[in-house]
Chains A and B, each alone.
Chain A
Amino acid sequence: MSTFTAVENISRRDVLKLFGAVGGGLALGASGLTWSPMALAQDKEARLNLFIAIGEDDKVYLTCHRSEMGQGIRTGILQVLAEELEADWDKIVPIQGLADKRYGSQNTDGSRSIRENYDRMRQMGAMARTMLEQAAAARWKVPVSEVYTADHKVLHAKSGRSAKFGELALAASEQPVPAVESLTFKEIKDFKQIGASRQIVDMDAMLSGSAIYGYDIKRDGMLYASIMRPPVLGSDVASLDDTAARKVAGVVDVYRLPAAKGAPAFQALGGVAVIATNTWSALEGRKALKITWTQADNSQHDSTLYLKELVERVQQSGKVVRQVGAEIKNWPEANTLKAVYTVPYLIHSSIEPPVATAHVTEKGCEIWASTQTPQSTQQNVAAALGMEEEAIKVNVTLLGGGFGRKSKPDFSVEAALLSKQFKRPIKVSWSREDEIQNGYYHAISAQSYQALFDANNKPTALLARTGFPSISSTFAEGVEYPSGGELDLGFVDVPFALPHLRYEAVKAKAHSRIGWMRSVCNIQHGFSAGSFVDEMAHRSQVSCFEMWRSLLGEARREAFSEQGFKYGNYGEDLSRHPVDVGRYLGVIDAVEKAQAKAPKAGKNQGWGFAVHRSFVSYVAVAMLVEVNEDEQLKVLNAIAAIDAGTIVNPDRVKAQTEGAIVFGLSLALMGEITYQEGKVQQSNFHDYPLLRLPQTPAIEVIIIASNAAPAGVGEPGVPPVAPSLTNAIFAATGQRIRDLPVNKLLRV
């Protein structure tokens, strides 16, 4: 089991510091047990470790230190904690952890909350259970080996005695903390929580309108800010006339924020903030601003021209990043298949845009934010204010979607800078236009693939190139190539078993803030590889399933040794999370079987397929589409099989996979951000549309039963969606779509 940082029997004072003392904690309007950090400030609980406290009323307070953004982590983490504790699910009170390094990493991105915490949370649960058992044994004066725990009680079989958790809580909190090596764990067959489709803990609050998101925070004396940010990355205010804005009812002040300098990282972008007594006045005031902006290096950026350059570049040689066998120099036209694929810039567009409230005082700063990264929020706010990190308290609200955008804490930095200036709590609410025009963009990209076929039309060699502006450019100036970490995302790590493989990366400078978005570079790499394998299948006149099987070769674990790169494997050890060809084959088989039972492709219809490993999980997707005479596309069915190892909450895995298909369809069908003169051309859902209910296919999700280590769930469903869709369109029409989005060619 992995090590962890914070097994300590922390004192009650620490607990109050961690969660806020009575009155100083989160005084959120709608309390109620579903989201109430105040619960721990009651007198009646005893803390057993960082994640578990038990009240004398028998309630168990379990802390989720990761952010809830729809993936169900506030339920999943609690299920793992409750499992080894033997806690009664109905007596659990969820607590949302503040930013605190003692929790270890709180970064809720990279589809890693369960895989990084599964062992730890089982340890925490087992530890608390052992302390309860020790307390009971001491009370009954019997050997600890004679007592056991079941159903929220500790029992002694010989004497027939039992005690509820609540009765033992205080005594247990004074027991010595057992060593991790001494802990015992349940067998899989005895699991009650892990593997159960528990309803999410926030259900009632979400259905009654009482769930509190970042946008819903209100503090006494709070002012509302709306910020007009530089439309071109690197530009700044040249002139400002705020006369009219200041006359708008409700506007309190207009304040110019300093422009970001150098690599943008998580700095506030700068611009002009309108401060008002309510959001509407702030927005109205902002409309009345007259601003001219300075020219910047990026003012010439035109995404159409830029993509043309990328397409040319991926057809010339680049930096070699993976090599298997000898380089093939001779590509006779008759035996070669070539294709180039492109994906445009994309933006996250969670329905709740970024939002943060800050209250800066002389002593420190308190933040309430829809954040995926409370600790990075703490660090960046501290740096911006010139304060110690410990002086920054970060409260994590529910997130109205995240998708990677809310792991960039720039919006909390903005709120903190404004609150410092105005000495009052300030909420910075991003508008939809802000979200679309001043985001951290999924990189525009091009990939080229070419394959060499032998006399029997079997592939023997593959050459792939990728080019896109790197996320690293957001954090350092002068970055011109994708990072190794980005190439690991579905590009170099596909375990093709051909004798000759060559992968190259080409130059691409950034002209906007590049960021990570749900499944990151796996989007373009999954699309291009998944499309090209289908093109190879058609050339070889075999099914796409067969082509994948033949390219992947026999079931084995691929370590990529001596191939010219060190594989990052999403931060996981290859022994725990191998690249397992057998598991690829497992999801391929599952989808092929399910498709055989699904409707056959009728007139103007076609099935398409793709498979992809990302975030150490394996997902295969088949899709059925119809394209009618009016070039109107209808996506009819989607079947997905996911192998994510051990599953904590099957219903949430199913929900995430359904959601990934909808997310993948949005980007493939209609997702496109374009730039002219350095400015984003889209502004709201009319020109950056998302999939709607009538466009959504029937979705079937198959979860592969597995006891392997738990793997990622939130992201891995996205990458195979776009290629399975365009492969299906090809099957239906003979039209190969290599440039996303699809709506450039078909009505969607």
Chain B
Amino acid sequence: MAEVLSTQAAVKKASTAASTQTLSINGKSFTLDADPKMPILWALRDILGLTGTKYGCGAGLCGACTVHLDGQPVRACLTSLGQAQGKRLTTIEGLDNQKLKNAWAEHNVPQCGYCQAGQLMSAAALVAQHPKPTEEQINSAMSGNLCRCGTYPRIKAALQNYAKQEG
């Protein structure tokens, strides 16, 4: 099922490189007219209304915008619409690892919650690859996600608890 969403950005000026982009997001197909250079972060947030993916730095330094492209964690602020063509995009709205979310809730991880979508997406990619991540794997996979509130000890605890449950 294709949902056609036209963007105001597309109807501007002859010089624009706007073209039709087809994206697969959370299992649905979306078609939009936009510049293929537009980072998917802004297409998701401003055009498609999927605001769960957050802006934090625009430079791949904070991880707040982490999404999955064909299952791999990528920064939506550095990934263009063009690069996402023909690939499966998963955002926090489509994250189906309930067990991971439960671990987050049990450890009361979020404070302000703003970075947590990115944290969860990085964590989900980690446990998809390593269902029982070691401390080293947790450190490595989560080091790209900043949390100014300082929820790191609980993120770590939630992931360690998740690993235990994997038995």
Interface residues of A (CB under 8 A from B): 29-30, 68-72, 197, 199-200, 202-213, 215-216, 218, 224, 247, 249-251, 276-281, 283, 349-353, 398-403, 429, 431-432, 651, 655-656, 658-663, 666, 684-686, 690-694, 696, 698-699
Contacts and interface: CB of A to CB of B under 8 A. Distances in A.
Nearest to A210: B52
A283 B114 contact: no
Contact of B92 (A70, A209, A686, A692): A209
Given A247-B15, A429-B55, A351 B148 contact: yes
B39 A280 contact: yes
B114 A278 contact: no
Contacts of B54: 213, 215, 351-352, 400
A433 to B, nearest CB: 8
Contact of B142 (A203, A224, A247, A693): A693
B150 A247 contact: no
Nearest to A276: B9
Given A199-B108, A278-B42, A400-B114, A351 B146 contact: yes
6 contacts: A206-B110, A209-B91, A247-B15, A278-B8, A353-B55, A684-B61
A694 B9 contact: no
A202 B108 CA distance: 11
Nearest to B62: A685
B115 interface: yes
Contacts of A210: 52, 93
A429 B12 CA distance: 22
A279 B91 CA distance: 19
B113 A202 contact: yes
Interface residues of B, number: 66
B120 interface: yes
B150 A659 contact: yes
Given A29-B49, A278-B9, A70 B153 contact: no
Contacts of B143: 692-694
A279 B111 contact: no
Contact of A655 (B47, B49, B154): B154
Contacts of A247: 13, 15
Sort A-B residue pairs by CB-CB distance and give the 5 closest, nearest first.
Answer: A209-B52, A662-B150, A400-B114, A70-B112, A206-B113
B148 A349 contact: yes
Given A70-B112, A200-B110, A693-B143, A655 B45 contact: no
B46 interface: yes
B5 interface: no
A250 B112 contact: no
B105 interface: yes
Contacts of B46: 218, 224, 278-280
Nearest to B39: A280
B117 interface: yes
Interface string B1-43: 0000001111011011110000000000000000100110010
B9 A250 contact: yes
Given A209-B117, A351-B114, 17 more contacts: A30-B51, A70-B112, A207-B116, A209-B50, A210-B52, A224-B46, A249-B12, A249-B15, A249-B35, A278-B8, A278-B38, A278-B42, A280-B39, A350-B148, A401-B114, A656-B111, A693-B145
A432 B57 contact: yes
A208 B93 contact: yes
B129 interface: no
Contacts of B12: 249-251, 277
A355 to B, nearest CB: 9
B89 interface: no
B110 A280 contact: no
A669 to B, nearest CB: 13
Contacts of A278: 7-9, 38, 42, 46-47
B88 interface: no
A690 B145 CA distance: 10
Given A691-B150, A693-B142, A207 B101 contact: yes
A312 B148 CA distance: 34
A686 B61 contact: yes
A431 B105 CA distance: 30
Nearest to B35: A249
B39 to A, nearest CB: 6
Given A208-B52, A218-B49, A692-B146, A203 B153 contact: no
Contacts of A698: 153
Contacts of A206: 110, 113, 116
Contacts of A216: 45, 51
B64 interface: yes
